[in-house]
Structure 1
């Protein structure tokens, strides 16, 4: 088990996800990864956004914290620089990693519940958060 931090990046009612294809399975995850020694979860979320998405982000509030293979923290974030889809983390550069493919994508928030987005508990909290904001 490893603690993990992820970003929730929303633009024009779409959310940034990583489309994974691994061992014949297609599923989606929130951009993020393990927290390194000496990092806070906010620092890790910011680093992972740059590595996986190619964007620099401003971390806002924590939208969800769940227990799923360790503590998972999901932070609302705002893109403040970089180019979406130009991440250069190990996921993209280490040719010896046999962990399937990673593809940054924008998905309409209203479609999240119909997709295999993991973990589902985080999806429910995030969809609930953005649904309540839409009604404001």
Structure 2
């Protein structure tokens, strides 16, 4: 199995979720920010690091909400809370690899618009809908 991944779910006060809009190999889709767990990191530590690297935000990891297998990876999904930072493409690998053919664009997306941005994996869409703050 491939290296395990850790993924962050962050809502703003307009009940929008933070997604990474992607264009890669002719496909257009969206993912929740996240990436591989490194060394002796816990999944929660990896989630906080990935959020900073990918979208320039410092978050508090609130709780794990889902673990699933996706494309050969075990993925840990965490609900997070914003502590600080200004949302933009971070200085991690995504910022370095960003190109016309392989683009990364962080964006706040309304939960009602998740179908329109092709959020993957499929399980993420319903999970996010179920976590919207009331």
Same fold by TM-score greater than 0.5: yes
Kept in 2: contact 1:64–1:126 (CA 8 A): no
Q: Structure 1: which 5+ residue stretches go unaligned?
A: none
Match of 1:39 in 2: 41
Match of 1:58 in 2: 60
Match of 2:94 among 74, 91, 96: 91
Say yes or no: does 1:110 pair with 2:112: yes
Give the structure-1-normalised TM-score: 0.88
Q: What displacement does 1:86 show?
A: 4.5
Tell me how far apart the structure 2 counterparts of residues 65 and 98 of structure 1 sit (CA, whole Å): 32
* Over 3 Å off, 4+ runs: none
Tell me how far apart the structure 1 counterparts of residues 15 and 65 of structure 2 sit (CA, whole Å): 16
Match of 1:13 in 2: 15
Q: What displacement does 1:90 show?
A: 1.3
Give the structure-2-normalised TM-score: 0.89
Tell me how far apart the structure 1 counterparts of residues 23 and 97 of structure 2 sit (CA, whole Å): 16
SS at 2:94's partner residue?
A: helix
Match of 2:129 in 1: 127
Aligned residue pairs, count:
131
Tell me how far apart the structure 1 counterparts of residues 35 and 75 of structure 2 sit (CA, whole Å): 9
Cα RMSD, aligned residues only: 1.9
